Amino acid sequence: RQAGRQSSSGEEHVDEGKMANPTPVVKRKIIKKKVNKIKRWHSDRYMRVGESWRAPRGIDSRFRRRFKGTGPQVNIGYGSNKKTRHMLPSGFYKFTVENVADLEMLLMHNRKYCAEIAHNVAARKRKAILDRAEQLNIRVLNGKAKLREEEQ
């Protein structure tokens, strides 16, 4: 029996379209050295200065010169482990797919990479990509996007 989901009326709906669900070869623990964002200098003071990081460039800037009490700056020490960089919490790495031929590249790497269908791919080609991904046992991240209920 397939695991289904219950609706508000109590009857159970069974998902007919199965998705490939391989497990990653190695699932390492992802350790982030810094989880909170480093904000841009004076972004709290002026509305015109956004919070996204920009390097300070002023010739007399005390922030650029790293005086005490000026707050953290971006530097290489905050970089993440090379082996877990760009890794998703599931243990896979993303690979953007635009057509069925792109899936063939993941044939031997289906336990290291998962497919993500590009945003500009229409429903008809998405359906073909999903069918081929199921045959090759490749996980698709956004498999349910842009598909109508009766097509699934």
Question: What confidence tens digit (pLDDT) does each residue in 7-48 have?
Answer: 454 444 444 456 778 888 888 898 888 889 999 999 999 999
Question: What confidence tens digit (pLDDT) does each residue in 81-104 have?
Answer: 999 999 999 999 999 999 999 999
Q: Residue 138 corresponds to which tokens in the numbers above?
A: 């490749």
- The model's pTM: 0.73
Task: Check residue 25 and give its pLDDT.
Answer: 83
The secondary structure of 60-96 as a DSSP string is T-TTTTT-TTS-----GGGPPPTTTTTB-TTS-EEEE
Question: What confidence tens digit (pLDDT) does each residue in 66-76 have?
Answer: 999 999 999 99
Q: How far apart are CA 140 and CA 71, in angstroms?
A: 41
